[in-house]
Amino acid sequence: MKISARNIIKGKVKEIVPGSVNSEIIIETALGETIVSIITRDSVENLGLEVGKEVYAVVKASNVMVAVD
């Protein structure tokens, strides 16, 4: 995976809070910190997100995206 964003934080999905359109993804880093991202339910499915899956929080400006290998 190559990406232009410089702030890429590896973690694991701690919790997924589904909503009618968007879902809240709670990511726990290796240091025990949490990062929360709001992404569409379609993105949750397309990325195959589930609790325990390793992911990357990609921070660019004021947005947090979730990426997987």
Q: What is the CATH number of the domain that holds 38?
A: 2.40.50.100
56 domain residue, yes or no: yes
Q: Which domain holds residue 47?
A: 7-67
Q: What is the pLDDT of residue 69?
A: 87
Alpha-carbon span 56 to 9, nearest angstrom: 5
58 domain residue, yes or no: yes
Is the pTM for the entire model greater than 0.85? no
Write the CA distances from 17 to 9, 13, 24, 58, integer angstroms: 20, 11, 5, 19
C-alpha angle 60/48/65, rounded to 5°? Answer: 5
Question: Based on the structure, what is the number of domains in the chain?
Answer: 1
Specify the DSSP element, H or E, that contains 21. none
57 domain residue, yes or no: yes
pLDDT band of residue 20 (cuts 50, 70, 90) is very high
Q: What is the pLDDT of residue 63?
A: 66
